[in-house]
Amino acid sequence: MDLKYLIRDIPDFPKPGILFRDITTLLRDAAGLRYTIDTFAAEFTAAGLKPDYVVGMESRGFIFGPPLAYKLGAGFVPVRKKGKLPAAVHSIEYELEYRTDTLEIHQDALAALSKVVIVDDLIATGGTAKATADLLAQMGCELLGFGFIIELTELAGRQNLPTVPIITLIEY
């Protein structure tokens, strides 16, 4: 299945000059959504990645992470933006293009040496994914790999990530 046909391009969003890849059209397509999750699971399995947990970043990682965790027989752990989690957290501040942001994870979400994969809808510069990987490293987790539906290859985000398998389903 060619998932590109299920992703809508929206020019000048969120600001002029940006071409936004909208996955809501993929999400509403039952066959496309099933194909996405099944393909991720097959790719992770083929790569020999057997995580204890799938970690998804706010917010689209929350969409794809739980069904992938289910398929892989793993748990799901969310990484949220600052102030969204109710219990004690570990946090990491990271730089975006024009500002900084903070990601958080519950302190009791993962034990040291937990095997994890990180999943999100898109990798652009890799900043959020790298911050998530750094946060998990601080907790003593073993990062097995990453999964992204879309990779914007021109931005070379994978070069900013740790050297582990990176699975992408579509490249632009």
97 part of the active site = yes
Instruction: Return the closest-CA partner of residue 128 out of 60, 44, 75, 70.
Output: 60
Q: What is the Cα–Cα distance from 43 to 39, expressed in whole angstroms?
A: 6
- Here the tokens at position 123 are 């990798």
Among residues 28, 34, 60, 104, the one annotated as catalytic is 60
Q: Under a CB-based contact definition with an 8 Å cutoff, are residues 150 and 168 in contact? A: yes
CA–CA separation, 106 and 95 (whole Å): 21
Question: What is the distance in angstroms between the CA of the first residue and the CA of the last residue of the chain?
Answer: 16
Tokens of 141: 């987790």
Catalytic annotation present for 28: no
Q: Which one is catalytic: 28, 80, 97, 158? A: 97
| Catalytic machinery residues | 60, 97
